[in-house]
Copies of this chain bind each other. A is one copy, B any other.
């Protein structure tokens, strides 16, 4: 099994009633400084404020009635956990989320607000706990990225970009496990060979850059990153071959550049994006990624989930 354009098109038809077709905006005010035509795909305006709902919804809508009746489980306190809780609530089924005790309270509150059951655990124990919940209760596990249904759902972002901005030249996609970048790249490259798709990952966690260089999946040392949405240390098994096939190239970007990108988007474009979503804009701003003045460049703003207090970390960032 793999991922085809028609899988992604089918996913789009399936999830359309449940998601927002988020806008693509041209940001003229950023163009002189970034040195290209600047467009953003605003998944921070998606329901649950992140693209994750697309893949989750595409997965849930393919479960059998029996599976739906038993309920679903995952182990993320971040955007994926929010999406599972929200989607389950929308479909009237039970969701259980195993949450590491390091998660900030505002993230837990969101999951509770969407009506999911939270089971506290540790970072180390969470996957074991999740698997035992699957065995004990018959819950269906909803994985964050290493799954073709998830990738097909995330790939719908690519279909929408091509529809909203048919003459796009380049698309920059933040990457963690590789669900979004594989999905978008498959959707785009199977539709138009001329559009260039770049993945972007933290310089501290260059798992795709390293794996692509080694021509095999390679786990990198966990040096940590400020980008709380981009913490994977190894590409997904199912994601990597698709990234190899479809993504043109990968960039790595420093934490400092991401902070600059986030503050620049907020102050100059008036858009609040997660630090993970600011990685490519920050990379260009900080001279870590090159673009051409004649290029129409689309940045996928993957999410906007952050607490007001988190703005503190860009207080002294100079742009």
In the complex the two chains form, is B25's CB within 8 Å of A47's CB?
no
Interchain CA distance A270-B304 in the complex, whole Å: 7
Within 8 Å by CB of A270, from B28, B271, B314, lies: B271
In the complex the two chains form, is A29's CB within 8 Å of B42's CB?
no
Which residues of the partner chain B approach A311 to less than 8 Å between Cβ atoms?
311
Interchain CA distance A266-B271 in the complex, whole Å: 8
In the complex the two chains form, is B304's CB within 8 Å of A315's CB?
no
Question: Which chain B residue lies CB-closest to A268?
Answer: B49
What are 29 inter-chain pairs, A to B, with CB distance below 8 A? Answer: A20-B28, A20-B29, A23-B23, A25-B25, A25-B45, A27-B45, A28-B45, A28-B47, A29-B45, A29-B47, A29-B49, A42-B270, A44-B270, A45-B269, A45-B270, A263-B308, A266-B272, A266-B308, A267-B272, A267-B308, A270-B271, A270-B272, A270-B273, A270-B304, A271-B271, A271-B272, A272-B272, A308-B314, A308-B315
Copies, count = 2
Majority DSSP secondary structure for residues of A touching B: helix
Question: Which chain B residue lies CB-closest to A24?
Answer: B23
Which residues of the partner chain B approach A267 to less than 8 Å between Cβ atoms?
272, 308
Interchain CA distance A142-B42 in the complex, whole Å: 37
Which residues of the partner chain B approach A42 to less than 8 Å between Cβ atoms?
270
Interchain CA distance A44-B23 in the complex, whole Å: 17
Could you mark each residue 63-86 of chain A with 1 if its beta carbon is under 8 Å from any beta carbon of chain B, else 0? 000000000000000000000000
Interface residues of A in 256-288 (CB under 8 A from B): 263, 266-267, 269-273
Interchain CA distance A34-B44 in the complex, whole Å: 19
Chain A residues with CB under 8 Å of chain B are 20, 23, 25, 27-29, 42, 44-45, 47, 49, 263, 266-267, 269-273, 304, 308, 311, 314-315
Interchain CA distance A129-B42 in the complex, whole Å: 46
Which residues of the partner chain B approach A23 to less than 8 Å between Cβ atoms?
23, 25
Interchain CA distance A266-B309 in the complex, whole Å: 13
Interchain CA distance A113-B229 in the complex, whole Å: 36
Which residues of the partner chain B approach A263 to less than 8 Å between Cβ atoms?
308
Closest 3 CB pairs of A and B: A270-B304, A270-B272, A44-B270
Question: Which chain B residue lies CB-closest to A272?
Answer: B270
Question: Which chain B residue lies CB-closest to A319?
Answer: B308
Interchain CA distance A206-B152 in the complex, whole Å: 54
Interchain CA distance A272-B311 in the complex, whole Å: 13
Which residues of the partner chain B approach A308 to less than 8 Å between Cβ atoms?
263, 266-267, 314-315
* Among A23, A42, A271, residue most surrounded by chain B Cβ atoms (within 10 Å): A271
Interchain CA distance A158-B238 in the complex, whole Å: 51
